[in-house]
Structure 1
Amino acid sequence: MIVGRREVWTGRLLLVLLMAVTVVPFISLFVTALHPSGSYPLGLDWPGDPHWDNFVKAFEAANMGELLKSSTLIVIGVVPISLLLATLAGFAIGHLRMAGRNVVFLTFVLGLTLPFEGIITPLYYQVRDLGLLNTRWAIILPLIGLFMPFSVFWMRAHFVNMPQELTESARMDGANLWQLFWRVHVPLAMPALSSLAILLFLWTWNQFLLAIVLVDDPLKRTMSGALGAFQGQWGTDIPLLSAGSLLILAPTLAIFLVFQRRFVTALLQGSLKG
Structure 2
Amino acid sequence: MIGVRREGWTGRVLLVLLMAATLLPFVSLFVTALHPEGTYPSGLDWPADPQWGNFLRAFEVARLAEFLKSSVLIVLGVVPVSLVIATMAGFATGHLRMPGGRVVFLAFVLGLTLPFEGIITPLYFQVRDMGLLNSRWAIILPLIGLYMPFSVYWMRAHFVNMPRELSESARVDGVNTWQLFWRIHVPLATPALSSLAILLFLWTWNQFLLAIVLVDEPTKRTMAGALGAFQGQWGTDIPLLCAGSLLILAPTLVVFLVFQRRFVTALLQGSLKG
Q: TM-score range by the shorter chain?
A: over 0.9
Name the TM-score, length of structure 2 as normaliser: 0.98
For the Cα contact (< 8 Å) 1:91–1:155, is it kept in 2?
yes
Q: Does 1:25 align with 2:39?
A: no
Q: Does 1:247 align with 2:238?
A: no
For 2:126, the equivalent position in structure 1 comes to: 126
For 2:55, the equivalent position in structure 1 comes to: 55
For the Cα contact (< 8 Å) 2:194–2:263, is it kept in 1?
no
Q: Does 1:86 align with 2:82?
A: no
Indicate how the Cα distance of structure 1 residues 266 and 124 shifts in structure 2: closer, same or farther if over 3 A, else same: farther
CA-to-aligned-CA distance 1:59-93 (integer Å, 9 cap, x gap): 00111111110000000000000000000000000
Bigger mean CA offset, 103-112 vs 259-268: 259-268
Question: Counterparts of 1:95 and 1:11 in 2: how far apart (Å)?
Answer: 39
For the Cα contact (< 8 Å) 1:82–1:144, is it kept in 2?
yes
For the Cα contact (< 8 Å) 2:158–2:270, is it kept in 1?
no
For the Cα contact (< 8 Å) 1:196–1:266, is it kept in 2?
no
Question: Counterparts of 1:94 and 1:267 in 2: how far apart (Å)?
Answer: 18
The alignment partner of 1:19 has SS state of helix
Identity %: 82
The amino acid of 2:59's aligned partner reads F
For the Cα contact (< 8 Å) 1:67–1:221, is it kept in 2?
yes
Question: Counterparts of 2:72 and 2:105 in 1: how far apart (Å)?
Answer: 31
Q: Structure 2: any 5+ residue segments left out of the alignment? A: none
For the Cα contact (< 8 Å) 1:154–1:270, is it kept in 2?
no
The amino acid of 1:63's aligned partner reads R
For the Cα contact (< 8 Å) 2:38–2:236, is it kept in 1?
yes
Question: Counterparts of 1:145 and 1:271 in 2: how far apart (Å)?
Answer: 26
Name the TM-score, length of structure 1 as normaliser: 0.98
The amino acid of 1:262's aligned partner reads R
For the Cα contact (< 8 Å) 1:224–1:248, is it kept in 2?
yes
For 1:207, the equivalent position in structure 2 comes to: 207
For the Cα contact (< 8 Å) 1:67–1:223, is it kept in 2?
yes
Using the TM superposition, give the Cα deviation of residue 263 of structure 1 relative to its aligned residue in structure 2, in angstroms.
Answer: 2.6
Using the TM superposition, give the Cα deviation of residue 124 of structure 1 relative to its aligned residue in structure 2, in angstroms.
Answer: 0.4
The alignment partner of 1:180 has SS state of helix
Question: Counterparts of 1:262 and 1:126 in 2: how far apart (Å)?
Answer: 38
Q: Does 1:5 align with 2:18?
A: no
Using the TM superposition, give the Cα deviation of residue 37 of structure 1 relative to its aligned residue in structure 2, in angstroms.
Answer: 0.2
For the Cα contact (< 8 Å) 2:231–2:241, is it kept in 1?
yes
Bigger mean CA offset, 158-167 vs 260-269: 260-269
For 1:106, the equivalent position in structure 2 comes to: 106
For the Cα contact (< 8 Å) 1:93–1:105, is it kept in 2?
yes
For 1:75, the equivalent position in structure 2 comes to: 75
Using the TM superposition, give the Cα deviation of residue 270 of structure 1 relative to its aligned residue in structure 2, in angstroms.
Answer: 5.4
Using the TM superposition, give the Cα deviation of residue 216 of structure 1 relative to its aligned residue in structure 2, in angstroms.
Answer: 0.4
For the Cα contact (< 8 Å) 2:77–2:140, is it kept in 1?
yes
Question: Counterparts of 2:271 and 2:119 in 1: how far apart (Å)?
Answer: 27
Using the TM superposition, give the Cα deviation of residue 6 of structure 1 relative to its aligned residue in structure 2, in angstroms.
Answer: 1.0
For 1:171, the equivalent position in structure 2 comes to: 171
Bigger mean CA offset, 262-271 vs 38-47: 262-271
Using the TM superposition, give the Cα deviation of residue 258 of structure 1 relative to its aligned residue in structure 2, in angstroms.
Answer: 0.5
Using the TM superposition, give the Cα deviation of residue 272 of structure 1 relative to its aligned residue in structure 2, in angstroms.
Answer: 5.5
Q: Does 1:41 align with 2:41?
A: yes
Using the TM superposition, give the Cα deviation of residue 271 of structure 1 relative to its aligned residue in structure 2, in angstroms.
Answer: 5.2
